[in-house]
Amino acid sequence: MAIATLDDVLPPGRAQKYAVGAYDFMSPTMMLGIIDAAEETRTPVILQFPDGACMEDLEIFAPAMVAAAKKASVPVVIHLDHGKSIEACKRCLDAGFSSIMIDSSTQPYDENVRITKEVVALCKPLGIPVEAELGHVGQGKDYDPDNYQYTDPKEAAAFVEATGISALAVAIGNAHGVYRGKPRINYPVLEETAKLVSIPLVLHGGSGISDEDFKKIIKMGVSKINIFTELAQEAGARLKAIENEKLDVFSATEAIRAGFKARTLQKIRLFETKSI
Ligand SMILES: [Zn+2]
């Protein structure tokens, strides 16, 4: 099956009301746990490499992602999560990524459109779809649903039209990392956005959102869900559970891989991800 793109895996999800998980990782062991879960369920998966501290080692990680995708028997998307600059996007394209997110959501609308369009122009000739964000998905530690930069549905429709992106990350009460308090999804904003935007919608900050909310969100048009924190928490709990005398690099590596696999499996089932 090997390397796939967002255009391969997301539209069937939007049409059939299921979601494909996009799982971040920061080490090959974590990545292997995610792939194990996809293989076991025979479902497509989006491997996400975050534009952050690890970008320094992109050229080392990327060949491993490409090799893992080629070896896999299921479709694997090699995706840049939250590309912060056009330069970062170019580096990922050169390194063999099949999918790019450019995040200029902290910029004013016109600037967000300009930068996103530039990335789409770079990616389109290569057949690579682009995800972008409108409204702003902030950090869970600052979470305050009453003082939040929600996606404006009409602006979202205009943004998709102007930029030619393939997937739109929406801000509907979601946030990255651990939420301060309980997440509160703004369903009217999601409903209106889904009505006006026909491309797949993306939910960032999936860790901590309830199973009931997920089911509702997916039925309403979200077909890519980003998860990292819950995977890391599961692996962390398994590390802590190892008896002291048995704790070494081997048992730790195994716990991380098994933790990432287990929580990815749980999300694949919850999102009802289907084989394509
Ligand atoms: Zn995100």
What φ, ψ does residue 123 adopt, rounded to 5°?
A: -85, -35
CA separation for the pair 8, 218 (Å, rounded) = 18
CB 63 within 8 A of CB 96: yes
CA separation for the pair 166, 157 (Å, rounded) = 12
CA of 42 to the centre of ligand 1 (A): 25
Q: What is the pLDDT of residue 53?
A: 81
| Mean pLDDT, residues 227-243 | 97
Tokens 């077909």 map to which residue? 223
Residue 181 has pLDDT above 80, yes or no: yes
pLDDT digits (tens, 9 = 90+) for 31-89: 999 999 999 999 999 999 999 888 999 999 999 999 999 999 999 999 999 999 999 99
Q: What is the pLDDT of residue 65?
A: 97
CA of 64 to the centre of ligand 1 (A): 22
CA of 203 to the centre of ligand 1 (A): 8
CA of 4 to the centre of ligand 1 (A): 21
CB 33 within 8 A of CB 234: no
pLDDT digits (tens, 9 = 90+) for 79-123: 999 999 999 999 999 999 999 999 999 999 999 999 999 999 999
Domains and CATH numbers, the chain: 3-227+261-271 (3.20.20.70)
CA of 100 to the centre of ligand 1 (A): 13
Q: What is the pLDDT of residue 276?
A: 83
CA of 22 to the centre of ligand 1 (A): 10
Q: What is the pLDDT of residue 179?
A: 93
Residue type, 77: V
Angle between helices 229-240 and 28-41 in degrees, nearest 10: 110
3-state helix, strand, coil in the chain (%, to 5): 50, 15, 30
Per-residue pLDDT band for 155 (boundaries 50, 70, 90) equals: very high
CB 235 within 8 A of CB 264: no
Contacts of 161 (CB under 8 A, 6+ apart): none
Q: What is the pLDDT of residue 2?
A: 86
CA separation for the pair 134, 176 (Å, rounded) = 15
Query: Which pair of tokens denotes residue 111?
Result: 């600037």
CA of 204 to the centre of ligand 1 (A): 4
pLDDT digits (tens, 9 = 90+) for 123-140: 999 999 999 999 999 999
Residue 186 has pLDDT above 70, yes or no: yes
| Mean pLDDT, residues 15-33 | 96
CA of 243 to the centre of ligand 1 (A): 35
DSSP annotation of 139 reads B
Which positions are catalytic? 81
Closest among 187, 225, 230, 204 to 18, alpha carbons compared = 225
CB 159 within 8 A of CB 133: no
What sections of 83-186 are H helices per DSSP? 86-94, 109-123, 153-163
Residue 1 has pLDDT above 70, yes or no: no
